[in-house]
Amino acid sequence: MKIAIIGQGYVGLTISAFASKHHDVIGFDNNTITVENLNAGKSHIEGVDSSEIKRAIDFGSFRATSNGADLSDAEIVVIAVPTPLTKDRKPDLTFIESACKSIGENLNNSALIINESTSFPGTVRNYIKPLVEKYSKQPLNHLYAISPERVDPGRVDWDQKNTPRLYAGLTPEASAKTREFYSTFCDNLIEVSSPEVAEAAKLFENTFRQVNIALVNEFAQISHALGISIHETLDAANTKPYGFMKFNPSSGVGGHCIPVDPTYLAFVASQKGVPATFIERANEVNLEMPKYIVSRVQSDNGGSLKGKKVQVIGVAYKPNVADTRETPAELVIEELVNRGAEVTWHDPVVKTWQGSNSTDLGGSDIAIVVTLHEVMNTSEVTASAPYVFDTTGKLSGVQGL
């Protein structure tokens, strides 16, 4: 089949890599540098090896493009563009709209249009379908479906093949074609009764994580006040074989999903006049963690951080990826700077971030470990400063959550 995938980021490129083993794939992205690199066989995403891209290009089953005309004869179009929040924390569907414009203006035949971007229930039915129709130059009978993406970049045990995939079409024909497409590279497909159920399930999955992370972050503060180890307590609770799932405390949540998706759910809840109090409070607790951590560091260091050299170790939002979107490290650094500290950062995976470079490990009075990548040597990190505060729970013999 001829597949066009709109957006070649974490989600779109991952799908391109899997789909191009079975189909002819056009990877459409409006970032021309991404397109150039991909056509040169260079992947920019953890979990998608450059060799996979090269092989698909050499085999003739993958090509990246910024030219909308290349979408014209696609049989299936997958949308994988960002769905962030606006400045006033409302769903921002402008990327979805521009993807729909490219699809509408360029498709010359009827196709199946599948959304993989995360959004609120009703997005496929009330936004994507009307927008594609609005921009189409000719009346075409497209089919529409949703299959929310569950990829966890950098993860190797759960991938596109073995992670169960939800899907639903606006019509039975759209559902059947969606199943046919994904079954070429995914082993476990689960049809739900409407696109809205699939869209809501995706939001609830990430809300579940956001709320539980906030809960354990609050518990970290309670445990410290009680003078008990949170990690030993969590391990003890985790011996219960049912009804408990262990989450670890941290400096907060980052990435494109957990800090964002629950707010999409809160948005539709507020439109329906239903309170989303757990989501709002969980957001607050997670956003307050950097302040809590810096306050702990300050009180352990004579009550003032003025003039102290502090190195923040690990600025990616999670281990083993270079993704710094919504990273809590940013808030930790902001809080340290506000209290007069001289801050540097070290991250061998990220290397450059916000116009500055990763510094060599060490040379500071205080180190705060936000993210511990596998390439970091834990003994070196532990010995990198006279005082080390670990937010990851992975270092022993230092202060921390």
Ligand X SMILES: NC(=O)c1ccc[n+]([C@@H]2O[C@H](COP(=O)([O-])OP(=O)(O)OC[C@H]3O[C@@H](n4cnc5c(N)ncnc54)[C@H](O)[C@@H]3O)[C@@H](O)[C@H]2O)c1
Residues that bind ligand X (CB under 6 A): 6-12, 28-31, 34, 80-83, 95, 98-99, 102, 117-118, 149, 151, 153, 256-257
- What's the rounded Cα separation, in Å, for the pair 181 and 12? 15
Which among 56, 186, 257, 279 is annotated as catalytic? 257
Distance of CA 49 to the CA centre of its chain: 19
DSSP output for 183-201: TTT-S-EEE-S-HHHHHHH
- What's the rounded Cα separation, in Å, for the pair 185 and 172? 21
Nearer to ligand X, 205 or 342 (CB): 205
Nearer to ligand X, 11 or 381 (CB): 11
Nearer to ligand X, 2 or 291 (CB): 2
Residues 6+ apart with CB under 8 A from 327: 254, 315, 316, 317, 370, 371
Distance of closest approach, residue 217 Cβ to ligand X, in angstroms: 21
DSSP-derived 3-state class of residue 167: strand
Which CA distances in Å does 260 have to 21, 198, 202?
32, 17, 12
Our answer to whether residue 257 is catalytic in this structure is yes
Distance of closest approach, residue 81 Cβ to ligand X, in angstroms: 4
Distance of closest approach, residue 102 Cβ to ligand X, in angstroms: 6
Which CA distances in Å does 249 have to 36, 146, 396?
40, 33, 15
Nearer to ligand X, 257 or 265 (CB): 257
Distance of closest approach, residue 258 Cβ to ligand X, in angstroms: 10
Distance of closest approach, residue 314 Cβ to ligand X, in angstroms: 18
- What's the rounded Cα separation, in Å, for the pair 120 and 263? 9
Distance of CA 199 to the CA centre of its chain: 16
Nearer to ligand X, 146 or 333 (CB): 146
Of the candidates 26, 121, 38, which has an alpha carbon nearest to the alpha carbon of residue 76? 26
Catalytic residues: 257
